[in-house]
Amino acid sequence: MWRLSEPYAPVLVFRYSLRNAIEDFALNLDARTIRYLNGAMTVVRSLSLGETAEQWERQPADHAQLTQDGTTLAVLRQRGAGRGVRLLATRDGAVLPGPEGKPCDAEVPDESEDESEFMSTCVDVMAFSGDGRYFAYGRSWSDAVDDVTKQPRITVWDVRARQEHAVIEPPGGRGLWGVQSVALTHDGASLLTFRTSEGKAVDVWDVHRRKRVRTVDQGADSWTFNSYVQRLAVRRNGDTVVTPDGVIADLSTGVVSDRNLGDDLTEELVFSPDGANLAAADLLGSVTLWDGAVRRRLGQLPGTDDYAYSDSSGLGSHVGNVTALAFSADGSTLAVGDPLGRVQLWDVPSSRPLGSPLSTSGGPVLSLAFGTDGGTLHVAGRHVPLQKYDLTPSHLVGQACKRAGGGLSAADWKTYLPDLPYRETC
């Protein structure tokens, strides 16, 4: 299902195997259904559309990130009236005070602009601490620029106190130039920045002292700055940092190593809340599970069909099948989001899917998070900032009974389940 005003991305995608040919069909948004007539024109079937983007916003989000417990959402827009970063409380959608700052402009400079300015790529970086109290946001440039308004700086915001907590600025030398990923440790005491220039280095900053206290790098020259946001995965105890490029930094020993985390280029990765597992999704849609030390491969969740998502709005393209990952609080369930807005739940111990994919609002899933109770899944999309899904057994049973129009009657039970004693199912 497509929105005609925004034709570059579907509003809703789901697969349904038809029993036979279709003679005709109609869309009924009031009833949230698609009704179709079979080829013999004797049966009308109805397909539920579920929640179909009631809060659709025309200006898309370029990036979004949820806290690990799903209580707060950060939305970044590079264009339009809502340009900048905005913090939202997921409980009621209220806008929270947040850091101010001019985001990178996604527009490509024209030929009249300075060539050196064109070569200096800007990227927005942001991250929440594991406990959700602190939020880091800033801009980074691939190389030094003369414009003082573009000096790299990262603001660490206290979400609970609703005020600026610290500002990290380069102390001289390379400083924050070339940083393309940031992360906060679980308690927010340290800011971690990753730069692929000068040997794939992870810098550790003491937030309280506003000072860089350690650099862990490979010591080899390289230059592979990417102009897209890369999220670092940080283990809960803060001793291991993993990048989508397959760089694993052991901060306790200072050893930096490279590893193929999947069968293809890694797109997304996340540690489980307890740090026991790492999930790494590759370009083909497969998700590889590792132990917390990223030394032992535990298994692989199969990929989905290849898909290339092209954004004709000028915001770039995304090729691949996974755009977001999230573990449940106990680490037993993994949520995997894709460019079409679908979310598949997986049982981690058995590596088996849990039901069919959830249909969201369409377009890429930007971020996922389970609530602390494990019964709520938060989904952030490009045009719908937030959707919530109740995954508790009681709610799912209620939904099934509603769709079925109630449980089996005593007569039906006797017909279909004659060997079992009758009991009410709804």
> How far apart are the C-alpha atoms of 378 and 326, rounded to whole Å?
10
Task: Work out how many domains the chain is built from and give that number.
Answer: 2
Residue 199 vs residue 123, higher pLDDT: 123
pLDDT tier at 117, thresholds 50, 70, 90: very low
pLDDT in tens, 36-73: 998 888 999 888 776 655 567 778 888 999 999 999 99
**Average of pLDDT values for 332-337?**
94
Q: Determine the pLDDT at residue 362.
A: 72
CATH number at residue 143: 2.40.128
- Written as six digits, the tokens of 91 are 């409980």
Pair 139, 123: CB distance under 8 Å: yes
pTM of the model: 0.83
Q: Establish if 157 belongs to a structural domain.
A: yes
What is the reported pLDDT for 368?
96
Q: Residue 4: which residues within 8 A CB-CB, separation 6 or more?
A: none
Give residue-wise pLDDT tens across range 274-286.
999 999 998 888 9
User: Would you state the pLDDT for residue 108?
Assistant: 43
**Whether pLDDT at 115 is above 80:** no
Q: What is the pLDDT of residues 199-257, one digit of tens each?
A: 678 889 999 999 998 888 766 555 455 555 668 899 998 889 998 878 888 888 888 88
Q: Which of 215, 245, 275 is the last residue of a domain?
A: 245
Taking 50 as the threshold, does the pLDDT of residue 112 lie above it?
no
pLDDT at 148 over 70: no
The pLDDT assigned to 270 comes to 96
Instruction: Tell me if 81 is assigned to some domain.
Output: no
Within a domain: 263: no
pLDDT at residue number 130: 94
The pLDDT mean for the chain works out to: 82
Who contacts 368 (Cβ-Cβ below 8 Å, separation ≥6)?
Answer: 66, 324, 325, 326, 335, 337, 343, 377, 378, 379, 380
Confidence of residue 311 (pLDDT cuts 50, 70, 90): very low
In a domain, 134, yes or no: yes
Which pLDDT value is given to residue 171?
60
Residue 315 — pLDDT band, cuts 50, 70, 90?
A: very low
Residue 271 has pLDDT above 90, yes or no: yes
User: Quick check: is 156 in a domain?
Assistant: yes
The whole-number average pLDDT for the span 192-196 is 83
What percentage of the chain exceeds 90 in pLDDT?
Answer: 38
Q: pLDDT tier at 32 (50, 70, 90 boundaries)?
A: confident
Could you tell me if residue 315 is inside a domain?
Answer: no
For residue 120, being part of any structural domain is answered with: yes
Provide the pLDDT confidence category of residue 393 given band limits of 50, 70 and 90. Answer: confident
Domain carrying residue 422? 392-426
The residue out of 182, 213, 245 marking a domain boundary is: 245
Q: For residue 73, which of 322, 353, 366 has the smallest C-alpha distance?
A: 366
Q: Which of 245, 267, 301 is the last residue of a domain?
A: 245
User: 123 in a domain, yes or no?
Assistant: yes
